[in-house]
Amino acid sequence: MRTFHLFQIKEETYEQLLNKEQELFILLSRLKKMEKDQLNFGISLFQQLCDPWPVEIMNHYLMNKFRAKRENNHYIFNQTNQLIVKPSYFILKTEYDVPSIFYYLRYSGAHIFVCDFERSDYFYLNELLKQRKNLISNK
């Protein structure tokens, strides 16, 4: 089972850290592990890096597009995909390396950065999907 964290990266951050995805991953990883006594600093840094998700729009979209079962901010699509919607980030728990919901989420933001902190894996969603499209079209 993989656990992906999806972040909406600000345009300025994206431009400053272009081709430096590892640095962005390290920053987000440190924010995730930050102690509570550093919460104000962490929030400030997070707000410099990321935009909030449009939660109301996403809730409506997910309910209408997928007819997902909803419990609070958790969406269960089937037994292999669960999406937790938070204003600051999404958490996707899935059995797939490239779950189909990625193809739908790519339209919700220009610079969606995906992290699997447990596996130290990270990528921009659009870049991953472009690579997959190129692989398929080159076959």
Q: Does residue 108 lie within any of the structural domains?
A: yes
**pLDDT score at 131:** 82
Provide the domain limits for residue 86: 2-9+51-137
Q: Does residue 26 lie within any of the structural domains?
A: no
Between CA 65 and CA 48 the distance in angstroms is 31
Runs of H (alpha helix) within 17-118? 21-33, 39-49, 55-66, 101-105
Q: Does residue 57 lie within any of the structural domains?
A: yes
User: Count of domains in the chain?
Assistant: 1
**pLDDT score at 33:** 94
The tokens for 106 are 């790519």
Q: Is 90 exceeded by the pLDDT of residue 74? A: no
- pLDDT digit string, tens, across residues 54-71: 888 888 888 787 777 777
Task: Indicate the pTM of the whole model.
Answer: 0.89
The tokens for 81 are 């995909």
Nearest alpha carbon to residue 78 among 95, 60, 91: 95
- pLDDT digit string, tens, across residues 83-135: 999 999 999 999 999 998 898 888 888 899 999 999 999 999 998 888 877 65
Question: Given the structure tokens 């398929």, which residue do they identify?
Answer: 136
Phi, psi angles (nearest 5°) of residue 16: -70, -35
